[in-house]
Homo-oligomer: A and B are copies of this chain.
Amino acid sequence: MAGPNSLHALIEALRRLPGVGVKSASRMAFHLLQHDREGAQLLSQALGQAATRVRHCSQCNTFTEGEVCDTCANPQRDRSKLCVVETPADQAALERTAAFKGLYFVLMGKLSPLDGIGPKDIGLAKLFERAQDGVVEEVILATNFTAEGEATAHVIGEAMKARGLRVTRLARGVPAGSELEYVDLGTIAHALVDRREK
């Protein structure tokens, strides 16, 4: 898009957002400048504030503005259980179930050797230290059931067992509400192996 320098700079900056190419960035810039200047100013302020204020919880590594996040600071939570997830969004999904009253550790990523993401790039050292506070008894691995999530769970699981902690993994099986005919083979195989007494 031909135009003034500050418009070019805005389009270039918008392209740093994940999944935004030059066409989307131009469309976003056009929309903000033509129809929503208030939104542009609001987003500008929100970005500046978040970038300076948001840091990592010293306990669970998730995003927070204070030293410790609300979940870790909550005295009602069961401190003997530590659930390990990849991202704050995964943690939010678990919280919505209201089925877990323990604490979390948020890796902020997953092991992915092909992308050059090793143990140092996600919060593994911090997790190992956190899990050895003498209060945590069980580490629940809730990384995703993808190749990388499984590998991450394996590495953490082995390290935790070596430290004498109980290690569990979210159950794999047939999703609620689904028909067997449409469930993939691997899932059915896992559901058979992990079958439970009725």
Contacts and interface: CB of A to CB of B under 8 A. Distances in A.
Copies of this polypeptide in the complex:
2
A57 to B, nearest CB: 10
A24 B89 CA distance: 12
A88 interface: yes
Interface string A5-41: 1110110111011110000101111111110110111
Contact of A51 (B32, B46, B47): B32
Contact of A47 (B24, B40, B53, B66): B40
Given A4-B64, A7-B50, A33-B50, 9 more contacts: A2-B88, A6-B49, A13-B43, A16-B36, A16-B39, A19-B27, A30-B88, A33-B51, A41-B48
Q: 4 tightest A-B contacts by CB?
A: A44-B47, A16-B39, A13-B46, A40-B51
